[in-house]
Structure 1
Amino acid sequence: MKTNYHQANQSASIPNPYLNNNFIPRSGQVSEGNNPSQREYAWQVASNLLVSFRYAWAGVRYAFVSQRNFRIHTLITLVAISWGLFLRVNAMEMAIVTLTCALVMVLELINTALESVVDLTVGQSYHDLAKIAKDCAAGAVLIASIAALLVAAFIFIPHLLG
């Protein structure tokens, strides 16, 4: 039986940033040390652009800390960009490699968000539609990953052979 991140975190050493007082409290909850009149709700619009970026970065950090596949995709992205620089691919090829890698990482973030919402909705129970939603989101990441691998092969192999 697959456990969700919050269950696994009880025995693991990986911190859950959303349960940390430095992050956004859950709706209606007040972080320790915060004035109740200053509490932030998850459903509120960010007060300014910098706050929006902080929330977005918190999501990326959460995925990096909690999702093994996101860490793998991050490493592969760094390797692909490094290869592009080492092989001195042209700007258009580098842009294509970067965009395909970014697509994989964006889909991994969407997959993580969808899995979290499904887990929140169904809890510990099993539902066929929850499985379909999670499997389809994971399938989207898989297809994008295969496409990114093909793009990298089409771009890097001629540079390696020539």
Structure 2
Amino acid sequence: MRKHVAFGLMAIFVSFLLGLSLLEWLWIILAVFLVWIVEIINTVFENVVDMVTECHFHPIGKKIKDMAAGAVLVTSVFAIIVGMVIFLPKIVELFLK
């Protein structure tokens, strides 16, 4: 969770530096907040599974945790793709000037 918050804040900071358009800002904010929201939901699932299983291994509990972690992974990949589509052309343009 800490890494996702740090990367999200870094993306927002870079967005300020690069002077994004309104539409680009909306995509960045969407991607950042989606990752944060899914990470929070993942944490909720992990805590509920631990509470119900009393922190003992259970195969269904493992599946639930794995699926919630997979949702975070997929959302993070989406955020990376959005960041690359928006940031890479702007960064390349900075270096070619």
In structure 2, C-alpha distance between the alignment counterparts of 1:124 and 1:116, rounded to whole Å? 9
Q: Which has the larger radius of gyration?
A: 1
Structure 2 residues not aligned, in runs of 5+? none
Aligned match of 1:116:
47
Greater relative CO (CA pairs within 8 A, separation 6+): 2
Residues 56-81 of structure 1: CA deviation (Å, up to 9, x unaligned): xxxxxxxxxxxxxx111111011001
Aligned match of 1:26:
none
Kindly report the root-mean-square deviation, in angstroms, between the aligned alpha carbons of the 2 structures.
Answer: 0.8
Structure 1 residue 124, shift from structure 2 partner: 3.1
Alignment of 1:66-81 (within 5 A): 70-81=1-12
Runs of 4+ in 1 over 6 A off after TM superposition: none
Equivalent pairs, count = 93
In structure 2, C-alpha distance between the alignment counterparts of 1:124 and 1:77, rounded to whole Å? 31
In structure 2, C-alpha distance between the alignment counterparts of 1:124 and 1:85, rounded to whole Å? 43
Matched-pair contact (CA < 8 Å) for 1:97–1:151: yes
| SS at structure 2 position matched to 1:124 | coil
Q: Are 1:134 and 2:57 matched, yes or no?
A: no
Structure 1 residue 95, shift from structure 2 partner: 1.0
TM-score w.r.t. length of structure 2:
0.92
Aligned match of 1:97:
28
In structure 2, C-alpha distance between the alignment counterparts of 1:124 and 1:140, rounded to whole Å? 22
Structure 1 residue 150, shift from structure 2 partner: 0.9
